[in-house]
């Protein structure tokens, strides 16, 4: 049975899906068994009893629920408001251009930038001091750090809104928005009401999965919660991280991870219930025939909210850059008094080695993810395997803590912990879904006639793949590569748990060093962490254009439009 | 019902080319004005300008009046101009009845339901309130789409090649249905096909006005 036979290819596809699901199944088993006391040698004691006895548990749980749900609701509201108020206006192209950089910046780097903006000694306070505030020193009580979790919520909203917005925008073309709005408006409905009655009911089911992923992430995020959230109580995920590092509390950590998974599942159910109620109310209101009013104030409020988010995210990134080159920046100066390169050169050990490790892991993971996605999508195109989109999203819907605690225990048991390949394997698990998501649309839309035309000319399968299909899909392949780099660079928990402290990346270095290292070096670390995905996105944008220009030079002034995809 | 009046309409492309220059016309209630002309002569842009949904890159000037009311600066939703496009754009997340209810203005729930049942019956679509639009035939969809537009109580009707997606038999049937349903309204029809134009219509060839 060779790999070129249909059965051989089926076996290869089975191996691929098996490799993908292995950490998920083993990870969940590795979390569930210790939680229920079934592995006493690995995690002694009754995990649930230990956890419930911990006085931090209930406050941490309620804090996680509050920040997770409020941030998700705000992200959804911001996305819908942006669509209703900005889509179709001249600001839309500006917004579309600014979204990818915000999306590319890793969570930890953005969180640090936000701290530089909102902290008592941050830029906001500096801008109003001493003139408006009268403060000569950073204030003792300020909006950050807050005990309620608003900083974490703001951070999550800024980071995740572009993600949901991008998912929504990618679906709008299928909904024929401009025609629906035109018909709705000629029937007498105000634009906002056309959106709420004609577009959003059809758009929402298409972005539901992305919203569930965001909800799961917001309820269980660790790196942003460590940086932006209060420490007493911390979020449940952060609390569990402190437990998992203590061998005596391993069972409690596993029990907590199970409860966190159950909490996420409960929130999913709650969200679906709310969806059902809202859908029924909306359906009833649709029949009322109320046309609504074109309220300019609403549009302005929406625009204002979008602008606020953009300003906060852009200024956070700018502050990282300023701090990384600052030599002397006294409070309340709005800008550094002196500039230097020392922050980059004096601690090169702290910057260079993690940067190299991050880059190496990201490149390896990107190549592996692209290869896996291409293999799978080619098999799917040739009907060797069925379309199983839902399976790829499983790791993104399970809290990282719930999956990785168990997966770490399994790798420990198998003697694979701390191995570089374990880190790469786990990064691949979280990168592949995004790569497949991006490539699948283009792969499925590519007209089969291109390949058929080449086959008729005598080209074999590999030649068609290499010379026709892949070049035609150059742009989505570049985008998928950039996203893969961004996802890998941002991975904190998989690197920390699988690396066993032996593989320090920019993400782990940034979170663990924060608070203990000079903020100027931290800023340099964050800039470096942001630069990698930003460069990947820039390359993904430039390379297809450069290739098309080269083809145009070689073949004359009007190259095939297909090559310009 | 009032007449639809366009005065000194000029439409210019971003490259400086004029689509329409100083065009004026009146359409009386019950009258049909057929806009003809080759592709790119500005027929659909003219309708978009009338509805207030014209591509902002186009430079447009002129006035549109409905009786004594100037519509030029009114937002689309306040103009009360019914629009039918080549595609029927029945909203797929609503049943046939809900699509029609979406067009209706005012009235109690019972009145609205009764009006919809009556309208559907008059259009030989009785009992189809709860049907999914996806299960309707092309002709049924076209009729529902026109009914939805008419139920919104428009003061004029704009038709942008509404029959071109239908097969020959169906096309004649829907033409009859349209002209009968819209007999009291001023109608502007954009078409490439002279067979679409009713006998009582005036014809304005935009290809010749340039």
Q: What domains appear along chain B, each with residue ranges and CATH number?
A: 4-209 (3.40.50.300)
Contact B85 A179 (CB under 8 A): yes
pLDDT more than 90, % of chain B: 45
Query: In angstroms, what separates the C-alpha of B119 from chain A's closest C-alpha?
Result: 16
Name the residue facing B75 among A90, A287, A294 (closest C-beta): A294
C-alpha span between A425 and A365 (Å, rounded): 8
Question: What is the average per-residue pLDDT within A280-294?
Answer: 81
Model pLDDT for residues A449-483, shown as the tens digit of each residue:
888 888 888 888 889 999 899 999 999 999 999 99
Decide if pLDDT at A143 tops 80: no
- For A40, other C-beta atoms within 10 Å of its C-beta total 10
Contact B105 A291 (CB under 8 A): yes
Decide if pLDDT at A145 tops 80: no
DSSP H or E run through A307: helix A296-324
Interface test with A, best of B47, B49, B57, B76 (most A CBs within 10 A): B76
Q: In sequence order, which residues have a C-beta less than 8 Å from that of residue A175 and are 6 or more positions away?
A: A199, A202, A203
Query: In angstroms, what separates the C-alpha of B158 from chain A's closest C-alpha?
Result: 10
- Name chain B contacts of A90, Cβ cutoff 8 Å: 56
Distances from the Cα of B147 to the Cα of A434, B119, B144, B190, angstroms:
44, 8, 5, 19
Chain B residue with minimum CA distance to A189: B77
B:1-20 residues touching chain A, CB 8 A cutoff: none
Give phi and psi for B18, each to the nearest 5.
Answer: -85, 130
Chain B residue with minimum CA distance to A178: B53
DSSP A246: S
Give phi and psi for B131, each to the nearest 5.
Answer: -75, 145
Query: In angstroms, what separates the C-alpha of B88 from chain A's closest C-alpha?
Result: 10
Name the residue facing A188 among B77, B89, B158 (closest C-beta): B77
Token output for A468? 């026709």
Q: In sequence order, which residues have a C-beta less than 8 Å from that of residue A500 and are 6 or more positions away?
A: A417, A418
- Name chain B contacts of A179, Cβ cutoff 8 Å: 85, 87, 89
Q: In 3-state terms, what secondary structure has residue B71?
A: coil
Decide if pLDDT at A561 tops 70: no
Give the confidence band of A556 by pLDDT, cuts at 50, 70, 90.
low
Helix-then-strand count for chain A, H and E: 27, 2
Q: A50-314 belongs to which CATH class?
A: mainly alpha
Q: Is A106 left (phi over 0), alpha (psi -120 to 50) or beta?
A: beta
Token output for A324? 């990384």
Token output for B81? 């101009």
Q: Residue A341: name the closest of A325, A362, A319, A358 by CA.
A: A325
Chain A residue with minimum CA distance to B156: A186
Q: Provide the sign of the torsion angle of the four alpha carbons A32, A35, A36, A42, taken in this order.
A: positive
Residues A157/A309, Cβ–Cβ less than 8 Å: yes
The overall average pLDDT reported for chain A is 89
C-alpha span between A5 and A8 (Å, rounded): 5
Interface test with B, best of A89, A186, A286 (most B CBs within 10 A): A186
E-strand stretches of chain B: 4-12, 18-27, 32-36, 59-66, 69-70, 81-84, 156-160, 187-190, 202-205
Query: In angstroms, what separates the C-alpha of A199 from chain B's closest C-alpha?
Result: 9
B:85-124 residues touching chain A, CB 8 A cutoff: 85, 87, 89, 91-94, 98, 101-107, 109, 112
Residues A484/A365, Cβ–Cβ less than 8 Å: yes
- Name chain A contacts of B154, Cβ cutoff 8 Å: 186
- Name chain A contacts of B104, Cβ cutoff 8 Å: 289
C-alpha span between B155 and B166 (Å, rounded): 26
Query: In angstroms, what separates the C-alpha of B165 from chain A's closest C-alpha?
Result: 16
Give the confidence band of B98 by pLDDT, cuts at 50, 70, 90.
very high
Decide if pLDDT at A557 tops 60: no
C-alpha span between A403 and A409 (Å, rounded): 10
Geometric angle at alpha carbon A206, from A204 and A207, rounded to 5°: 70
C-alpha span between A436 and A476 (Å, rounded): 11
A265 class by beta-carbon count within 10 Å (0-12 exposed, 13-18 middle, 19+ buried):
middle
Contact A186 B77 (CB under 8 A): yes
Chain A residue with minimum CA distance to B100: A287
Looking at the complex, does the CB of residue B167 fall below 8 Å from at least one CB of chain A? no
B:38-57 residues touching chain A, CB 8 A cutoff: 51-53, 56
B:119-148 residues touching chain A, CB 8 A cutoff: 148
Give the confidence band of A562 by pLDDT, cuts at 50, 70, 90.
very low
Give phi and psi for B91, each to the nearest 5.
Answer: -75, 120
Geometric angle at alpha carbon A336, from A334 and A340, rounded to 5°: 165
Tell me which range, A227-236, A299-308, A398-407, is most confidently predicted by mean pLDDT. Answer: A398-407
Interface test with A, best of B71, B77, B99 (most A CBs within 10 A): B77
Give phi and psi for B40, each to the nearest 5.
Answer: 85, 5
Confidence (pLDDT) at A51: 92
Confidence (pLDDT) at A4: 67
For CATH 1.10.3720.10, list the domain ranges present in chain A.
1-37+341-565, 50-314
Listed range (A288-297, A344-353, A506-515, B86-95) with the worst mean pLDDT: A288-297
Residues A372/A428, Cβ–Cβ less than 8 Å: yes
Model pLDDT for residues A351-382, shown as the tens digit of each residue:
899 999 999 999 999 999 999 999 999 999 98
CATH of A1-37+341-565, one of 3.40.50.720, 1.10.10.10, 1.20.1560.10, 1.10.3720.10: 1.10.3720.10
Decide if pLDDT at A297 tops 80: no
DSSP A466: I
SS (H, E, C) chain B: CCCEEEEEEEEECCCCCEEEEEEEEEECCCCEEEEECCCCCCHHHHHHHHHCCCCCCCEEEEEEEECCEECCCCCHHHHCEEEECCCCCCCCCCCHHHHHHHHCCCCCHHHHHHHHHHHHHHCCCCCCCCCCHHHCCHHHHHHHHHHHHHHCCCCEEEEECCCCCCCHHHHHHHHHHHHHHCCCCCEEEECCCHHHCCCCCEEEEHHHHC
E-strand stretches of A469-541: none
pLDDT more than 70, % of chain A: 97
Please give the interface size between A and B, counted as residue pairs whose CB atoms are below 8 Å apart.
Answer: 76
- For A454, other C-beta atoms within 10 Å of its C-beta total 18
How do beta strands B202-205 and B32-36 pair? parallel
Give the confidence band of A16 by pLDDT, cuts at 50, 70, 90.
very high
Token output for B18? 């004029």
Chain A residues whose C-beta is within 8 A of a chain B C-beta are 90, 176, 179-180, 182-183, 185-191, 197-198, 201-202, 283, 286-287, 289, 291, 294
Confidence (pLDDT) at A294: 65
Decide if pLDDT at B76 tops 50: yes
- Name chain A contacts of B100, Cβ cutoff 8 Å: none
Token output for A519? 């903020």
DSSP H or E run through A510: helix A506-513
pLDDT more than 90, % of chain A: 57
- Name chain A contacts of B101, Cβ cutoff 8 Å: 286-287, 289
Model pLDDT for residues B24-69, shown as the tens digit of each residue:
999 999 999 999 988 888 888 999 999 998 888 889 999 999 999 9
Q: What is the pTM of this model?
A: 0.87
Contact A286 B76 (CB under 8 A): no
Distances from the Cα of A271 to the Cα of A155, A210, A310, angstroms:
22, 13, 27
Name the residue facing A286 among B82, B94, B112 (closest C-beta): B94
Model pLDDT for residues A70-129, shown as the tens digit of each residue:
999 999 999 999 998 888 887 888 888 888 778 889 999 999 999 999 988 899 999 998
- Name chain B contacts of A180, Cβ cutoff 8 Å: 89, 91
Chain B residue with minimum CA distance to A284: B98
Token output for A413? 């048991």
Question: What is the average per-residue pLDDT within A220-244?
Answer: 91
Start-to-end CA distance of chain A, whole Å, equals 37
Name the residue facing A202 among B52, B93, B98 (closest C-beta): B93
C-alpha span between B88 and A514 (Å, rounded): 59
Tell me which range, A17-26, A142-151, A184-193, is most confidently predicted by mean pLDDT. Answer: A17-26
Interface test with A, best of B85, B91, B107, B111 (most A CBs within 10 A): B91
Name the residue facing B77 among A179, A180, A291 (closest C-beta): A291
Query: In angstroms, what separates the C-alpha of B77 from chain A's closest C-alpha?
Result: 4
Residues B94/B136, Cβ–Cβ less than 8 Å: no
Confidence (pLDDT) at A102: 82
E-strand stretches of A274-363: 326-328, 338-339
Name the residue facing A188 among B52, B53, B105 (closest C-beta): B105
C-alpha span between B43 and A148 (Å, rounded): 59
* Long-range CB contact pairs, A311-314, < 8 A, 24+: A312/A114, A312/A117, A312/A154, A312/A158, A313/A102, A313/A105, A313/A110, A313/A113, A313/A158, A313/A159, A314/A98, A314/A102
Helix A348-381 × helix A6-35 angle, to 10°:
130
ipTM for this model = 0.85
Listed range (A140-144, A405-409, B19-23) with the worst mean pLDDT: A140-144
Query: In angstroms, what separates the C-alpha of A79 from chain B's closest C-alpha?
Result: 21
Start-to-end CA distance of chain B, whole Å, equals 31
Q: In what order do the strands lie in the sheet with B18-27?
A: B18-27, B4-12, B59-66, B69-70
Chain A residue with minimum CA distance to B101: A287
Query: In angstroms, what separates the C-alpha of A208 from chain B's closest C-alpha?
Result: 16
Model pLDDT for residues A28-47, shown as the tens digit of each residue:
999 999 998 888 877 788 88
C-alpha span between B83 and B128 (Å, rounded): 23
């Amino acid at each position: 049975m060779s790999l070129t036979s249909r059965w051989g290819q089926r076996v290869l596809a089975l191996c691929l899906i098996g490799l993908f699901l292995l950490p998920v199944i083993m990870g969940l088993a590795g979390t569930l068994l210790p939680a229920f006391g079934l592995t006493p040698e690995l995690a002694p004691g009754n995990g649930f009893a230990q956890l419930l006895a911990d006085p931090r548990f209930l406050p941490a749980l309620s804090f996680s629920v509050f920040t997770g749900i409020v941030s998700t609701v705000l992200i959804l509201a911001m996305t819908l408001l942006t669509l209703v108020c900005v889509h179709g206006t001249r600001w839309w192209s500006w917004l579309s251009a600014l979204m990818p950089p915000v999306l590319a910046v890793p969570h930890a780097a953005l969180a640090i930038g936000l701290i530089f903006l909102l902290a008592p000694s941050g830029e906001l306070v500096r801008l109003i001091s001493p003139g408006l505030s009268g403060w000569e020193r950073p204030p003792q009580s300020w909006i950050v750090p807050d005990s309620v979790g608003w900083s974490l919520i703001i951070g999550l909203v800024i980071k995740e809104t572009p993600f949901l917005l991008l998912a929504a925008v990618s679906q709008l073309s299928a909904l024929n928005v401009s025609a629906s709005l035109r018909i709705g408006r000629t029937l007498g409905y105000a634009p906002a009401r056309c959106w709420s009655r004609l577009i959003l009911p059809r758009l929402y089911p298409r972005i539901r999965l992305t919203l569930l992923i965001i909800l799961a992430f917001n309820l269980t995020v660790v790196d942003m919660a460590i940086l932006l959230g209060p420490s007493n109580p911390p979020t449940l995920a952060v609390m569990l991280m402190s437990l998992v590092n203590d061998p005596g509390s391993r069972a409690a950590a596993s029990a907590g991870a199970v409860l966190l998974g159950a909490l996420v599942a409960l929130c999913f159910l709650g969200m679906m219930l709310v969806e059902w109620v809202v859908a029924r109310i909306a359906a009833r209101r649709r029949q009322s025939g109320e046309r609504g009013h074109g309220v300019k104030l609403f549009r302005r409020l929406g625009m204002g909210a979008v602008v606020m988010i953009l300003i906060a995210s852009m200024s956070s990134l700018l502050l990282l850059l300023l701090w990384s080159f600052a030599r002397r920046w006294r409070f309340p100066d709005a800008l550094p008094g002196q500039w230097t390169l020392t922050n980059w050169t004096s601690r090169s050990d702290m910057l260079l080695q993690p940067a190299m490790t991050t880059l190496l892991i990201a490149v390896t993971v990107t190549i592996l993810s692209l290869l896996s996605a291409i293999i799978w999508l080619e098999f799917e195109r040739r009907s060797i395997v069925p379309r199983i989109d839902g399976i790829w999203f499983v790791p993104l819907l399970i809290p990282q803590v719930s999956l990785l605690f168990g997966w770490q225990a399994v790798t420990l048991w198998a003697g694979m912990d701390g191995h570089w390949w374990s880190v790469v394997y786990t990064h691949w698990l979280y990168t592949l879904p995004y790569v497949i998501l991006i490539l699948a649309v283009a792969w499925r839309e590519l007209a089969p006639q291109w390949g058929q035309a080449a086959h008729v000319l005598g080209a074999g399968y590999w030649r068609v793949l290499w010379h026709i299909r892949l070049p035609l899909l150059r742009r989505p392949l570049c985008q998928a590569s950039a996203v893969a780099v961004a996802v890998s660079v941002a991975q904190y928990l998989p690197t920390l748990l699988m690396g066993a402290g032996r593989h320090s990346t920019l993400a782990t270095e940034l979170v663990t060093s924060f608070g203990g290292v000079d903020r100027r070096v931290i800023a340099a670390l964050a800039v470096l962490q942001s630069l990698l995905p930003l460069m990947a996105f820039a390359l993904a944008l430039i390379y297809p254009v450069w290739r098309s220009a080269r083809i145009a030079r070689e073949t004359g002034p009007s190259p095939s439009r297909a090559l310009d995809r | 019902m009032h007449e639809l009046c366009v005065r000194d309409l000029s439409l210019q492309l971003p490259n400086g080319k004029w689509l329409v220059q100083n065009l004026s016309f009146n359409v009386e209630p019950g009258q049909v004005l057929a806009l003809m002309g080759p592709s790119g002569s500005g027929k659909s842009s003219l309708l978009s300008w009338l509805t207030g949904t014209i591509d902002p890159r186009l430079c447009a000037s002129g006035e549109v009046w409905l009786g004594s009311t100037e519509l030029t600066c009114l937002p689309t939703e306040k103009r009360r101009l019914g629009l039918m496009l080549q595609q029927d754009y029945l909203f797929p997340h609503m049943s046939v009845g809900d699509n029609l209810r979406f067009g209706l203005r005012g009235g109690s729930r019972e009145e609205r339901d009764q009006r919809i049942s009556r309208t559907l019956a008059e259009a030989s679509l009785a009992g189809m309130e709860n049907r999914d639009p996806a299960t309707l035939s092309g002709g049924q969809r076209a009729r529902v789409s026109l009914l939805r537009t008419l139920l919104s109580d428009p003061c004029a009707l704009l038709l942008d090649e509404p029959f071109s997606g239908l097969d020959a038999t169906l096309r004649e049937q829907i033409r009859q249905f349209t002209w009968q349903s819209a007999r009291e309204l001023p109608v502007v029809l954009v078409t490439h096909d002279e067979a679409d134009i009713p006998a009582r219509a005036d014809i304005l060839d935009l290809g010749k006005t340039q």
